[in-house]
Every structure is written in C-alpha cells, then in structure tokens.
Amino acid sequence: MALKDLLVHVDQSERAPLRLRLAADLACRHRSHLTAIYVRELNPAQLDELSTAELGWGSAEAINYANQSIRRSIEAAAERLRALLEEKKQEHGLDIEWRCLDGVGSIVVPQHARFADLCILSQDMPISRTEYTFAERILFVTGRPVMFIPARGSFDTLGRHIVVAWNSSRPSARAVNDALPLIERAEQVTVLALNPADFIDQYGALPPEHMVEHLKRHGASVKGIWHNNVPAESIADTLQAEAHRLNADLIVAGAFGHPKLWEKLMGGVTRDLLARVNLPILMSY
C-alpha cells in the first residue's frame, strides 16, 4: 500500500511553512501527489481589526484602507507559501498542485480532503469545551484520516517511528487501517495499549498481542508495550509521554465524537489529545 494523494491545508499562520515542509517530506518518501490548499479568508486577528474599524465609526476611507491592507496580507502569505511549495517541487522532484481558493475553510477544505488519502492540518486550540475547532470539524466530516501538526514544537520527520494507540475500539481499528501505508514503511512501530485488561474484561476484546502480530504480517518492525492502572484523566498525557520516551515522531489513534448531530460529546481522551498534542498525530473517525 502507498499514499498516492496527500492534501495539506496551509494558511497565514507562522506554522504553515513547517506543515508544508513536513507534507513535502512525506510526499517524497511515498512518491505521492501533493496538493496544498490555501483559502483566502480572514484570520481572527484580521476579523477583529476590521470589526474595530467598522464599529469605531471610522470613515469609509479608513475602513476601505483596512480592508485593502488585510487583503494584501492574505495574498502575500499565499505567495510565500506557493513559492515554498515550488521550491520543494524542485528539491524533491515532487508532483504538486497549488489551490488558492475563496470561501470558508471549514466548508471548502472537507470537499477537497475527500479526494485525498490523507489530510494534513494544524492543531488548533478548542474555543471551549462545548465547541468544535476547525481541525475537529475536518476530522469528523471528511471521512478521511487526518494528521494534526502541533501548534508548538519542532519536527523533522513524520512516520519513521510510529506509536499506535490501541484500545480495541472501532475508531482505533479504523485509524490503524488508514495508517497502514505509513506503518508498512516505518522504521519502527510500537503498539501501545493503556489499561488493556479493562478492554479484555469488559468487552471480551482480544489481547493487544494480536495487533502486534497483525502489523508484523504487513512487514512492519513492531513491538508492544502495555500499562495497566492508568487513571482515565492521565491517558492522553501518558500516551504522549511514552511516545516521547520512545523518540516516536507520529502517534496513530482513533477519534470519538458525534458529528451528525454536532453533539458536544467528544470523547475525553480525544479532546485531551487534540487540546494538548505535542507530537504529530494521525486520527480517524
């Protein structure tokens, strides 16, 4: 298996170039087509700036100037990212595509992500416990695996050492299957099961050793680690701490949520991971 079609979402943020570089490295290793999508929309700071100008009873000329300044910033960011993408094309001989579109990112991006094997996004912080972020919405509405790049930290590679967070659930199984192209090419894979005795006792789940053997049949170099008696509120932090200890560069995990009704019932571990993620993480719903 291989990743043939990657999509990376880039924007005006300082982290967008890093996201683009990581996506290009992944595309190079998998010989994938890489599409970078940039949506011309105002970021929160620009929305505040424009609102301030309009509500401050500024002159029409002042409001127009603010509008034009913001538009120039949006176009300048797009041009910088397009130039970086072209640089990566020349450096790696990549098959690339640049899409610069108008609209609302949370509406536009899912439509394009559905035609990709993997969508690469920035992690963004939850506004509150009762609202989904842009990244969470993309995860739950695309029907595709999503890779989140943390808002902080430095990362050189993706998918050379993968930690699979295994809990015998449907979302966990879906995430592992979606990540197989990465798992098959990884230098090392670690199946990490936290509180596996709970899954076995409560649901009759098979021991996590079965997942280790399954991934070995895909040609991966795999080992298993499991810990019991991890408090529920510590699972997300324990998972990430163990991944750091192992020098992993990617976590694979299932996601829990209820997007059809937009219920505010995202699973606690999922929410904690997305809110405090400090390593790139691939999630599937």
Evaluate whether residue 171 is within a structural domain: yes
CATH number of the structural domain spanning residue 58: 3.40.50.12370
- Quick one: 64 and 167 in the same domain? no
Closest by CA to 168, choosing from 140, 136, 197, is 197
Distance (Å, rounded) from C-alpha 227 to C-alpha 103? 46
3-state secondary structure of 227: strand
- Quick one: 94 and 183 in the same domain? no
Q: Which residue has the tokens 């996004």?
A: 121
- Quick one: 276 and 177 in the same domain? yes
- Quick one: 279 and 173 in the same domain? yes
- Quick one: 107 and 196 in the same domain? no
- Quick one: 32 and 117 in the same domain? yes
Distance (Å, rounded) from C-alpha 87 to C-alpha 79? 12
Distance (Å, rounded) from C-alpha 236 to C-alpha 260? 25
* pLDDT reported for residue 232: 85
Evaluate whether residue 38 is within a structural domain: yes
Residue 9 near residue 119, CB atoms below 8 Å: yes
* pLDDT reported for residue 86: 97
**Ordered per-residue pLDDT tens for the chain, 285 residues:** 689 999 999 999 999 999 999 999 999 999 999 999 999 999 988 888 888 777 766 677 777 888 899 999 999 999 999 999 999 999 999 999 999 999 999 899 999 999 999 999 998 754 444 566 788 788 888 999 999 999 888 898 899 999 999 999 999 999 999 999 999 999 999 999 999 998 888 878 999 999 999 999 999 999 999 999 999 888 888 999 999 999 999 999 998 654 444 344 445 666 667 777 789 999 998
Burial class of 128 by CB neighbour count within 10 A (0 to 12, 13 to 18, 19+): exposed
Query: Which of 122, 151, 181 is where one domain is finished?
Result: 122
- Quick one: 70 and 181 in the same domain? no
Within 8 A by CB and 6+ apart from 227, the residues are: 193, 194, 195, 238, 242
Query: Which of 122, 147, 182 is where one domain is finished?
Result: 122
Evaluate whether residue 224 is within a structural domain: yes
Evaluate whether residue 169 is within a structural domain: yes
Residue 236: domain span: 161-284
Query: Which of 70, 96, 122 is where one domain is finished?
Result: 122
The model carries a pTM of 0.89
Evaluate whether residue 250 is within a structural domain: yes
Distance (Å, rounded) from C-alpha 221 to C-alpha 199? 25
- Quick one: 166 and 273 in the same domain? yes
* pLDDT reported for residue 266: 46
Residue 143 near residue 114, CB atoms below 8 Å: yes
Evaluate whether residue 200 is within a structural domain: yes
Q: How many helices (H) and strands (E) in the chain?
A: 11, 10
* pLDDT reported for residue 120: 96
Q: What amino acid is encoded at 8 in this protein? A: V
Residue 19 near residue 149, CB atoms below 8 Å: yes
- Quick one: 183 and 101 in the same domain? no
Evaluate whether residue 129 is within a structural domain: no
Query: In the numeric block, which tokens belong to residue 32?
Result: 């994938």
* pLDDT reported for residue 58: 61
- Quick one: 10 and 118 in the same domain? yes
- Quick one: 96 and 179 in the same domain? no
Evaluate whether residue 210 is within a structural domain: yes
- Quick one: 181 and 267 in the same domain? yes
> How many folded domains does the chain comprise?
2
CATH number of the structural domain spanning residue 203: 3.40.50.620
